């Protein structure tokens, strides 16, 4: 027993300085002072961790006292999470999502985004032509709950009144604007999530939903154009539509990515390919919900308060420029990107 204690004492004396140094680094990191560690200390941490692991291995193999083994096990476990675990705060993770993760996800799906935009345009142009030629097509494309009385039978004055709420109407609507914005966000988010979720079915349901969204848009615009209100309805729609339609197209692109990965997995197993595509598309969908929240605020509040058509177009142009620059402006890849 005395010999074992002597061996343990010598073992500790030879290595304890490194253990204490590692323990001091961990104490500072666990106390919220990791950012204050110097580069030298950060580089020393993995070396000290591996030395502690080696000490633990020797202690177990030579049957040193259990108290020392327990201490080393605890020290190594703490050091493992410091060296290999994530050290990002919630604020840092959110910042990285908006600064790099989301824009890069959008950039990586540019082909699918173009397909989504093309389907929306095809649907809108098709419905516009059909409604202009025969107004009865309007009710085919536009659900009653979305039309809200705006149909071929409405007068020009009545349609104009739906585009501009002035005077006492704005005051009366003031208390209803936040709930209305929340409703619009929920409705649009439902469409976007459905377009994303249906992508696994080889893209077909997503393509149909995106095209139908375009058909509704084209029919709605055609109704107002036929009453000489084309410019006005353009401002009324674009103040929120730039953000909303772009978001829905991105959601469709996310669905297309999952569908194509499922149909054409390449060298990977089908499930693995779909899972990888789902992770990438999921990042983009998180941002899509942010865009729809912005669109809901612009539609439910900004559009009702701002009654000037030129100002509406100016806001639409600004939002379009902001989104395009944000998503597609080249970014330099950070050396630390992808690390915890």
pLDDT in tens, 109-134: 999 999 999 999 999 999 999 999 99
Alpha helices in 62-155 (DSSP H): 66-84, 90-96, 102-108, 110-133, 137-141, 144-147
Task: Give kind and range of the element (H or E) at residue 261.
Answer: helix 230-263
Q: Give the residue among 118, 116, 121, 92 at the shortest CA–CA distance from 106.
A: 116
Torsion of CA 194, 195, 199, 202, to 10 degrees: 110
Cβ pair 178, 251 in contact under 8 A: no
- pLDDT confidence of 334, banded at 50, 70, 90? very low
- pLDDT confidence of 14, banded at 50, 70, 90? confident
pLDDT in tens, 288-302: 999 998 998 888 788
Cβ pair 281, 140 in contact under 8 A: no
As a whole number, mean pLDDT of residues 160-182 equals 61
Task: Give kind and range of the element (H or E) at residue 241.
Answer: helix 230-263
Cα(157)–Cα(15) distance, rounded to whole angstroms? Answer: 88
pLDDT in tens, 65-101: 788 888 899 999 888 888 876 556 678 888 889 999 9
Residue 333 pLDDT exceeds 80: no
Write down the domain spans for the chain.
2-87, 94-328
């Amino acid at each position: 027993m005395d010999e074992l204690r002597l061996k343990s004492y010598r073992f500790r004396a030879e290595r304890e300085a490194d253990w204490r140094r590692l323990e001091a680094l961990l104490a500072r990191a666990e106390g919220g002072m990791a950012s204050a560690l110097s580069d030298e200390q950060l580089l020393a941490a993995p070396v000290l961790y591996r030395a502690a692991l080696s000490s633990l291995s020797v202690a177990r193999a030579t049957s040193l006292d259990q108290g020392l083994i327990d201490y080393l096990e605890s020290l190594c476990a703490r050091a493992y999470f410091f060296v290999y675990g994530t050290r990002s705060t919630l604020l840092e993770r959110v910042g990285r999502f908006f600064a790099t993760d989301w824009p890069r996800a959008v950039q990586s799906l540019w082909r699918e985004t173009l397909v989504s935009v093309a389907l929306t345009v095809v649907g809108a142009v098709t419905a516009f032509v059909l409604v202009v030629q025969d107004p009865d097509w309007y009710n085919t494309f536009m659900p009653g709950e979305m039309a809200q009385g705006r149909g071929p039978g409405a007068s020009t004055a009545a349609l104009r009144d739906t585009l501009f709420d002035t005077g006492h109407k704005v005051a009366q609507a003031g208390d209803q604007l936040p709930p209305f914005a929340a409703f619009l966000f929920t409705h649009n988010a439902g469409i976007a999530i459905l377009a994303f979720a249906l992508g696994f079915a080889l893209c077909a349901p997503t393509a149909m939903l995106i095209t139908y969204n375009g058909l509704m848009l084209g029919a709605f615009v055609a109704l107002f154009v036929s009453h000489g209100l084309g410019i006005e309805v353009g401002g009324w729609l674009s103040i929120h539509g730039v953000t909303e339609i772009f978001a829905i197209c991105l959601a469709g692109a996310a669905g297309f990515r999952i569908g194509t990965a499922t149909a054409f997995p390449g060298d990977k197993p089908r499930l693995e390919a779909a899972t990888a595509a789902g992770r990438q598309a999921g990042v983009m969908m998180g941002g899509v919900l942010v865009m729809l929240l912005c669109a809901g605020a612009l539609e439910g509040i900004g559009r009702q308060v701002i009654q000037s058509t030129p100002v509406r177009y100016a806001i639409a142009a600004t939002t379009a420029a902001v989104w395009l620059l944000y998503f597609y402006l080249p970014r330099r890849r950070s050396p630390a990107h992808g690390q915890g």
